[in-house]
A and B are shown apart, each in its own frame.
Chain A
Amino acid sequence: MMIYFDNSATTQPHEEVLQTFIEVNKNYYANPASIHSFGVEVNELLDAARGQIAGILKTNKEHVLFTSGGTESNNFAIFGVAKANKHIGKHIITTEIEHASVLEAYKALAKEGYEVDYLSVNKNGVISLDELREKLRKDTVLVTIMHVNNEMGAIQPIEEAAKLIHQHSRAVFHVDAVQSFGKLEVQFKGEAGPDIITISGHKIHGLKGTGVIAFRRKLNIEPFIVGGGQEFGLRSGTVAVPQAVALAKACRIAVEHLQENQAKFKKWRDDLIDFLTAFGNHIYILSSKEGAPHILSFSVRDIKGEVVINALQKRGAIVSTSSACSSRQKKTSHVVEALKVDPHFKEGVIRISFGAKNTDEEIEQFKAIFKEVMNELKGV
């Protein structure tokens, strides 16, 4: 028995998604750019997959590009927009709590002479709209804000931010929706929404190595990979049709079950928050009931996260430190720093993240296990 509560790191692919992947590889392996009828047929399939995702995101299908995942999509959005618009300005804005694939891209641009402003967050991990308004300038060309924070689940006010950005600047608004897609409503909404949405397949029970970058409208953006001119000339390389179709299916399933999963996750999250609160000052909870329903981060006083994880793992429950990507690094996560977490709790942040395959029983089992762990570590 294993309780897998690390769904924000990655998820187990749905059986149906794997079926699609295998069948497309077996039966539709032609190159969609080929001019023979087999290629044309595969191109139709690719087009249908693209159309399905475009429909979900509410844009046109020529504005949906397939990538290798969230990191590539984020890099693509940031480098592509910043470089294509440098004649307008070199000022770009993001937040302190973005995923590394955004922060590192911004750092790289800073080295190239771009001026970067970082938005701070409050203790719930939410940005201030006033600060955003103040930082927007005439020469701001790009703003990146993550919809849901991967380490503790804070939800950013995307609509309000979008209105400010579009009213007060010519900047392109990029929303990293890797953690929110399938858990919250993610779509284009004209001026009250993003210009770019990036999503990843493996966070929604799809396959690793799959992702999308989608545009609200035709944007000024530089190609990310050059070559044969695939994906409307913006991302060359033979399109991985089986991955693309599998992603379209994972997206459909995620959106179809959104309400039901959301309700389930929320019930569990709220239940566990109450459960953890009962441990009093032994535990600090970073997430709030206002955050995304599938992520719950907390910290045990003066105990390293790794220790809690090992203790839980021994009893069959898999959770992670705040983010899988940064968990192998020794230093405290930038998100925990940005939240100004008390030193007693800084080292010990662990994250529980639910997926579509978790059950009510697992929540109860987890509670029992966690009680044992607390007894072992803290004697309570």
Chain B
Amino acid sequence: MLWKEILIRYGELTTKGRNRKDFIQQLKRNIKYIFSDLGSLTIRAERDRMHIELNNEEQFEVLMEKLPRVFGIQSFSPVAICEKDMGSIQQLAQKIMDRYKDQQITFKVEVHRSDKSFPYQTYDIQKAVGGYLLKNNPNLSVDVKNPDVELRVEIRKEAAYLMSEVIYGAGGMPVGSNGKTLLLLSGGIDSPVAGYLMMKRGVRIDAIHFYSPPYTSEQSLQKVKDLANELTKFGSTIRLHVIPFTELQVLIKDTVPPEMLMTTTRRIMMKIADKVREEIGALALVTGESLGQVASQTLESLTAINAVTNTPILRPLISFDKLEIIKIAQQIGTYEISIKPYEDCCTIFTPANPKTKPKIERVVHFESQTDFDEYIERAVKNREIYTFPEKQQTADKFKHLL
């Protein structure tokens, strides 16, 4: 096996003064968690980079496939290691460049010599390695300004480290390094993207979903579970709180005028979400709202909905176009799940003409005629909680058949 370890360069977190150690530890924990299937990985976390030791091909392949999704990583490189003598370094350099032998390419050798006891100077190493490669590989030529391949040689105390590829990571900060929030997850395209963007900023999320059987089907719930599960690929477990919403939704329909229905429904949802948030100790709510996209997402509507709580409501998509959102959804793999055609609770009981500019006083006036609190308490209390990634429950149920 050519590659002996993977070198990880941190993203933005390098700039975070005192918290840096916590960030690094969080990233290490996340990587251990994401790759727990691979057996225990040996990870060395240093101040400005991290090393994952490779024990077999499978580990290498899985890491190469999934590391680009892990937040907190600026870039990473597979690394080959050899003893610190010129002959070994030249041979290893040749092995690495062998992988390009069918192409005409330009290259340069970049040397970092942190072990000053190594008998050759940086420039000598460049010359010795570059010269050796040029002599043995007619397809190579040198371009120091804009090479196709930059072969990096690092001479450190323990050994010589060689790498030729820099793969960009997802950037952002390690999930869990910036506290916890509660995401309102509908099953549509936007809310999972909002969740993803928050996770990218290092935020851990719980999700809340409003479920209205029989108006919405079990498959619409399954879709939301699949979305929650998909988001766990970015590096943490996600708990999904499913709120039984039928009773309240029917009650709202029977008590407020049709044009207010949407606003009141949203306000009640927000109240419930805020209660759940308090219980789980999250600091903010997250929604997939994008300004002007639908009636409930005008500034007036957002204000009316927002009025039920002082908790910060984070709206990472507020200025995004629909097409931009779709693009991200496709990249993160939630789009295909989101577009499955099942009703969610926002698309039932929709009035013909919802107010796009609801007046708070009127909304409050109509709501004050019914006592929703008791229903809200019950909905919060009777919620079902699922944890993702799902432990093998279904497989166990069918085990004897399989």
Residue of A at shortest CB range from B102?
A: A167
Do residues A249 and B402 form an inter-chain contact, with CB atoms below 8 A? yes
Residue of A at shortest CB range from B221?
A: A40
Do residues A248 and B394 form an inter-chain contact, with CB atoms below 8 A? no
Residue of B at shortest CB range from A251?
A: B402
- The residue from B61, B217, B222, B395 contacting A51, defined by CB atoms under 8 A apart: B395
User: In the bound complex, how far is the Cα of B401 from the Cα of A24, in angstroms?
Assistant: 8
Do residues A49 and B219 form an inter-chain contact, with CB atoms below 8 A? no
- The residue from A40, A48, A190, A245 contacting B395, defined by CB atoms under 8 A apart: A48
Asked if B46 is at the interface of the complex by the 8 Å CB criterion, the answer is no
User: In the bound complex, how far is the Cα of B394 from the Cα of A40, in angstroms?
Assistant: 12
Chain A residues, Cβ within 8 Å of B218: 35-37, 40
Asked if A185 is at the interface of the complex by the 8 Å CB criterion, the answer is no
Do residues B102 and A45 form an inter-chain contact, with CB atoms below 8 A? no
1/0 per residue B380-402: CB within 8 Å of A? Answer: 00000000000000110010011
Chain B residues, Cβ within 8 Å of A36: 218
Measured between C-beta atoms, what is the minimum distance from B197 to chain A in Å?
A: 25
Q: When A and B form their complex, what is the total count of cross-chain residue pairs whose Cβ atoms lie within 8 Å?
A: 37
User: In the bound complex, how far is the Cα of B398 from the Cα of A48, in angstroms?
Assistant: 8
Do residues B402 and A252 form an inter-chain contact, with CB atoms below 8 A? yes
Indicate the member of B217, B218, B394, B398 with the most A CB atoms within 10 Å: B398
Asked if A159 is at the interface of the complex by the 8 Å CB criterion, the answer is no
Do residues B219 and A245 form an inter-chain contact, with CB atoms below 8 A? no
Residue of B at shortest CB range from A40?
A: B218
User: In the bound complex, how far is the Cα of B400 from the Cα of A23, in angstroms?
Assistant: 10
Considering only residues 130-177 of chain A, those with a C-beta below 8 Å from chain B are: 167
Do residues A45 and B401 form an inter-chain contact, with CB atoms below 8 A? yes
Do residues A44 and B394 form an inter-chain contact, with CB atoms below 8 A? yes
Considering only residues 104-158 of chain B, those with a C-beta below 8 Å from chain A are: none
Which range contains the number of B residues in contact with the other chain? 10 to 19
Chain B residues, Cβ within 8 Å of A51: 395
- The residue from A167, A190, A245 contacting B402, defined by CB atoms under 8 A apart: A245
1/0 per residue A180-202: CB within 8 Å of B? Answer: 00000000001000000000000
Measured between C-beta atoms, what is the minimum distance from A188 to chain B in Å?
A: 10
Chain B residues, Cβ within 8 Å of A20: 401-402
Asked if A52 is at the interface of the complex by the 8 Å CB criterion, the answer is yes
Asked if A47 is at the interface of the complex by the 8 Å CB criterion, the answer is yes
Considering only residues 218-265 of chain B, those with a C-beta below 8 Å from chain A are: 218-219, 222
Do residues A45 and B398 form an inter-chain contact, with CB atoms below 8 A? yes
Measured between C-beta atoms, what is the minimum distance from A251 to chain B in Å?
A: 10
Do residues B61 and A35 form an inter-chain contact, with CB atoms below 8 A? no
Chain B residues, Cβ within 8 Å of A24: 401
Considering only residues 22-81 of chain A, those with a C-beta below 8 Å from chain B are: 23-24, 35-37, 40, 44-45, 47-49, 51-52
Measured between C-beta atoms, what is the minimum distance from B335 to chain A in Å?
A: 14
Chain A residues, Cβ within 8 Å of B219: 35, 40
- The residue from B102, B217, B402 contacting A49, defined by CB atoms under 8 A apart: B402
In the assembled complex, 30 residue pairs joining A and B whose CB atoms fall closer than 8 Å, in A order, are A20-B401, A24-B401, A35-B217, A35-B218, A35-B219, A35-B342, A36-B218, A37-B218, A40-B218, A40-B222, A44-B394, A44-B398, A45-B394, A45-B398, A45-B401, A47-B394, A48-B395, A48-B402, A49-B398, A51-B395, A52-B395, A52-B402, A190-B61, A245-B398, A245-B401, A245-B402, A248-B402, A249-B401, A249-B402, A252-B402
Residues of B within 8 A of A (CB): 61, 102, 217-219, 222, 342, 394-395, 398, 401-402
Residues of A within 8 A of B (CB): 20, 23-24, 35-37, 40, 44-45, 47-49, 51-52, 167, 190, 245, 248-249, 252
- Other A-B pairs beyond A35-B217, A40-B219, 10, CB < 8 Å: A23-B401, A36-B218, A40-B222, A47-B394, A52-B395, A52-B402, A245-B398, A245-B401, A245-B402, A249-B401
